[in-house]
Structure 1
């Protein structure tokens, strides 16, 4: 039940508001607007984490590990048998499913469980499963059985999906070099291990503060930063500092070149290039893009170049506006917008020209209200509702977890979403989505229900009222629930390709598309209500809020183009030449970004995404572009269009990665995915949004 502040309202008014809330909020909203109660177990044993009886205690991980190791041996024997009675892809998917059920669960518990014994047991299970996978990657008879089927066909009838998934399994195998002569295979194994070590060291170095002796820092800016003895410590970029000297100083000092980081990055890129060449690919980018939506780096480069050309004049207009703002604020008629100014003036424009203070919107976006809005949207589009479900003792890893049953009006239960939404000590400070169990068709005709976790870092509800979300938090909630619904709405034959288990440059499309719904006034009107008075958000606030999300879209997109181009350049043809990475950065920035390179800085040495997204950083741009295209084609006219929602589910979401994503998108949009068409779609959106906000900002700047 909701609770309220006691400020100055009379007891009678509190009583009235109390009853109004109870009768107005849906049961789902009411549940999420109050913290889940702690479950006290008087009557029965704990059911175990995620309702798994093995995990009533932490040592159940050892039983799970032993069981999956035994199951693995059985499936290997079946796969290589001359008397095999199942399709090879069915056996491989069961093998993958068995390993993923333990590995994915253990990986989540390792980082999310508050008790050390569970974390340690889960980590040991992760290590054990990694050992099993490594042994599979060197199992020649298993590889040969799969390779023979891919090359010659199975002894049993197979579908197009069967053959596609079998090829994906084979590619996973060959990434470890099993198809190579033994000496070359061992070299690939060593390269993979070394790349992992280099990546970990680079990421650690990327997050370290810059420490300089006070003599190296001009006295005029020394006091901007903390000190330790004779050292000045710069912990990051002060992007929102009002003092322009502080912003500039932080940029120049924090991003100073560091020889150790430069050597790590050069070695990482060189080893990746050698690995790709050893596995038969022209460059690491070609290897990374295999089976992706864009398929090969040449198409990525065409898209980047096409988008860059069209963005240039639009981004220049953004920088001109920022320069105008800077001159007005500083009183210096010759001041120019610099690279350290862009985040600051984006924030300033939201505040000054749109009067969009985040605190102004908070009361209208209670967590329960947002969940009710999501529920209404999902019912409109797919006939799906979210039901808050009471958990049994021991089922969750913390006392403040919600469990949602996802129920279709005709198909029944589709799966479960566990909502780990609130901050707690030791919990990772990152919004993310975890697959605990993937969906798949079962031999008897049933379906293995997907189980996922959505993790956010929201403030705990207080006695004064529910958790309130800023507009950016609302976007994040819709984004992560987009991932979750991708898993829930998929209905694939194989768990290896269910839901988000698809190519990196397609996995973000459903989640980014959900952000479009979260930014549409028609959707926001259905749930943006004051958590106490239930007054709907005003049309003026709604107009300003939606417009604020599109400020400087051209320059922000140009920055993403620059990052993507740099990532492609690092992993392209010149990767094996050992050229200084800052020299490459200068060249790429001059070609793709509207603000100049700052001498004696090395921003790329802080860019940790180079490790996790090597040659795939463009995925954000492509996912955004495809989501925009889908939105414009199917939902912009009516975001509650049931016919469009059903079509989107059946032709996109239902397939996961079982059908090549390029083919999925082309069929759904009835048009070939050329770089030119993709770029045009995003430019059209930027131009449309620009016209919406122009009236609001002209009178303010």
Structure 2
């Protein structure tokens, strides 16, 4: 046990009943705190008994969400995962209700009118609270404000349903051993098999450790197309309908609040401030990329022996890596065992930031694969933060890579600092009986990216939870994570931790030279895909959008320089549309800082 353990649940023994009870207890405690704020006479209002008290009351709800509703994304048991989803929806709807309480608004407004002299952090917190009330419609007539509230509730439910449909989507293709030509034996051995009419077939799923290698190395374009088309309908028609209901609700809410679109509403509280500025940024970037994209596609067409479809580009990229640079993803992966990657990641972070990370093998975790680490000052003897690493796929759990805040940092009333807790969830290849988890270089980049979020969350010293860690402007939040991505292209950093999983030999200089030489290979195509996503997100949330998300997806696809795949609707599986709505451009925007 360390000081970080205080207040954390026993994740290893958590039950659905625990999740429900923790959620309800947190809400009840928050209600009590808010009622006390409201009951305080206006003449006696201070920052501490109004905004300070509200910060404390809502932080308990945030922790219940971070530690219990979090089970919706990571729990292996169906019932626990479902309880997590229910808790997530219950808490988010409660926070919507709280943000529309007129008596609480009156209390905060009364405090603001007293004109108490505030420090910069306190003034910012007050400004943000008043801004939130304005953006919730508190300057509107009561009937219109009630409609905004109803739409906000609806958006919570739609978001939970959307993510559930993605997490529970399970599809793939069955292929023969011959159809796996081009893929290495360890990959083939890792696949599940099924007996069909006396033949052993191999199942390639949509999980990242299977999908991306197959798209990059399988020689059959037809099979790549089949798998790609399945990936592009993840979430199904049901999620298209959910999304379009959400887009309509956002559009209506923005109109009621006096904005011309949800994009304008979202950008107001971002660094960009205006949707026109985002549109200009994206248009400028597209123009700058045009020549590189054209050259990338031409090179791929040369390799492909003709026009390139979107399910071909990863294969063409891989062929170019091998033939022009003598770089093979799976050969490179042999020098990136996960344990060595973590050692390197930790070493460079510790040396740069003056901290150290200590494993906590006895910390309760939600699955045996999860590891816990405490964070210390380099010469300190008391942990000040913790992070968990849940790095391998499991059925029906979170299917991408992300960092979650389980407990935000903030200054407590006694002057001590609440110890932040975070978690990385990813989907890397699991170790086998005779081979450790080996990461392709792109996966090493993902690991470093997500750890950038972890550092942002755990090293925070923000006074208030409202501004803690990654609770920043959405178009800045990716900057620290993208900064860390650059480290996996640094010769000195790579030389410090790469080693062959069998021999222990470092990554050969010749192979590293080739990797660095190939760094910008296909970079135009890769970046313009992100540009397409950003444009599409803006289109969904712009004035004049007609509500047909699939039509927009199809019409804007020409930005990628590849033909659109008929009968697909990738937006149904695009989880960023809830949480990064109208702000996906932030990934490209953050490159300026990262």
Deviation at 1:74, TM superposition (A): 3.4
Pair 1:522-2:503 in alignment: no
CA distance in 1, matches of 2:51, 2:310: 51
Pair 1:162-2:122 in alignment: yes
TM-score normalised by structure 1 residue count: 0.69
CA distance in 1, matches of 2:164, 2:89: 21
Judging changes above 3 Å, is the alpha-carbon distance between structure 1 residues 53 and 253 closer, same or farther for their aligned structure 2 residues?
closer
Name the SS of the counterpart of 1:573 in structure 2: coil
CA distance in 1, matches of 2:61, 2:292: 49
The match for 1:415 is 385
Q: Say which of 42, 60, 66 aligns to 1:98.
A: 60
The match for 2:26 is 68
Pair 1:469-2:447 in alignment: no
The match for 2:423 is 453
CA contact (8 A) 1:48 1:56 kept: no
CA contact (8 A) 1:433 1:483 kept: yes
**1:82-112, CA deviations, whole angstroms, 9 ceiling, x for partnerless residues?**
2234443322221221111112111223432
Q: Say which of 158, 175, 187 aligns to 2:147.
A: 187
Name the SS of the counterpart of 2:475 in structure 1: helix
The match for 1:686 is none
Judging changes above 3 Å, is the alpha-carbon distance between structure 1 residues 622 and 136 closer, same or farther for their aligned structure 2 residues?
same
> Which deviates further from its counterpart, 481-490 or 127-136?
127-136
The match for 2:593 is 626
Give runs of aligned pairs for residues 165-564 of structure 1, distance below 5 A: 165-195=125-155, 239-240=215-216, 242-244=219-221, 267-327=245-305, 335-391=306-362, 395-409=364-378, 413-424=383-394, 427-462=397-432, 464=434, 466-564=436-534
CA contact (8 A) 1:235 1:254 kept: no
CA contact (8 A) 2:369 2:392 kept: yes
Name the SS of the counterpart of 2:505 in structure 1: coil
**1:169-190, CA deviations, whole angstroms, 9 ceiling, x for partnerless residues?**
3444455545532321232233
CA contact (8 A) 2:12 2:366 kept: no
Judging changes above 3 Å, is the alpha-carbon distance between structure 1 residues 413 and 558 closer, same or farther for their aligned structure 2 residues?
same
Q: Say which of 589, 611, 620 aligns to 2:577.
A: 611
CA contact (8 A) 2:401 2:450 kept: yes
CA contact (8 A) 2:232 2:573 kept: no
Deviation at 1:540, TM superposition (A): 1.0
Name the SS of the counterpart of 1:504 in structure 2: coil
Deviation at 1:484, TM superposition (A): 0.9
The match for 1:648 is none
CA distance in 2, matches of 1:254, 1:422: 19
CA contact (8 A) 1:439 1:498 kept: yes
Judging changes above 3 Å, is the alpha-carbon distance between structure 1 residues 173 and 56 closer, same or farther for their aligned structure 2 residues?
farther
Give runs of aligned pairs for residues 643-682 of structure 1, distance below 5 A: none
Judging changes above 3 Å, is the alpha-carbon distance between structure 1 residues 322 and 125 closer, same or farther for their aligned structure 2 residues?
closer
Judging changes above 3 Å, is the alpha-carbon distance between structure 1 residues 453 and 246 closer, same or farther for their aligned structure 2 residues?
closer
TM-score normalised by structure 2 residue count: 0.80
**1:558-581, CA deviations, whole angstroms, 9 ceiling, x for partnerless residues?**
222222122212211212xx2755
CA contact (8 A) 1:54 1:63 kept: no
Judging changes above 3 Å, is the alpha-carbon distance between structure 1 residues 358 and 417 closer, same or farther for their aligned structure 2 residues?
same
Judging changes above 3 Å, is the alpha-carbon distance between structure 1 residues 70 and 183 closer, same or farther for their aligned structure 2 residues?
same
Instruction: Please say which structure displays the higher CA radius of gyration.
Output: 1
CA contact (8 A) 2:240 2:569 kept: no
CA contact (8 A) 1:54 1:61 kept: no
Deviation at 1:67, TM superposition (A): 4.0
CA distance in 1, matches of 2:433, 2:406: 33
CA distance in 2, matches of 1:490, 1:443: 17
Deviation at 1:385, TM superposition (A): 1.2
> Where does the alignment leave 5 or more consecutive residues of structure 1 unmatched?
1-43, 211-227, 229-233, 328-334, 628-701
Name the SS of the counterpart of 1:453 in structure 2: strand
Deviation at 1:124, TM superposition (A): 5.3
> Which deviates further from its counterpart, 136-145 or 236-245?
236-245
CA distance in 1, matches of 2:163, 2:371: 33
CA distance in 2, matches of 1:420, 1:276: 38
Deviation at 1:438, TM superposition (A): 0.7
**1:112-145, CA deviations, whole angstroms, 9 ceiling, x for partnerless residues?**
2345665565555445534542441331010122
> Where does the alignment leave 5 or more consecutive residues of structure 2 unmatched?
172-195, 197-203
CA distance in 2, matches of 1:607, 1:201: 12
Deviation at 1:277, TM superposition (A): 1.0
**1:414-471, CA deviations, whole angstroms, 9 ceiling, x for partnerless residues?**
3111222344555434322221111111222221110112223344545535433222
Judging changes above 3 Å, is the alpha-carbon distance between structure 1 residues 246 and 454 closer, same or farther for their aligned structure 2 residues?
closer
Name the SS of the counterpart of 1:353 in structure 2: helix
Give the number of equivalent residue pairs: 546
Name the SS of the counterpart of 2:388 in structure 1: strand
CA distance in 2, matches of 1:96, 1:138: 14
CA distance in 1, matches of 2:232, 2:362: 49
Pair 1:141-2:103 in alignment: yes
Deviation at 1:584, TM superposition (A): 4.5
Deviation at 1:313, TM superposition (A): 1.4
CA distance in 2, matches of 1:614, 1:190: 19
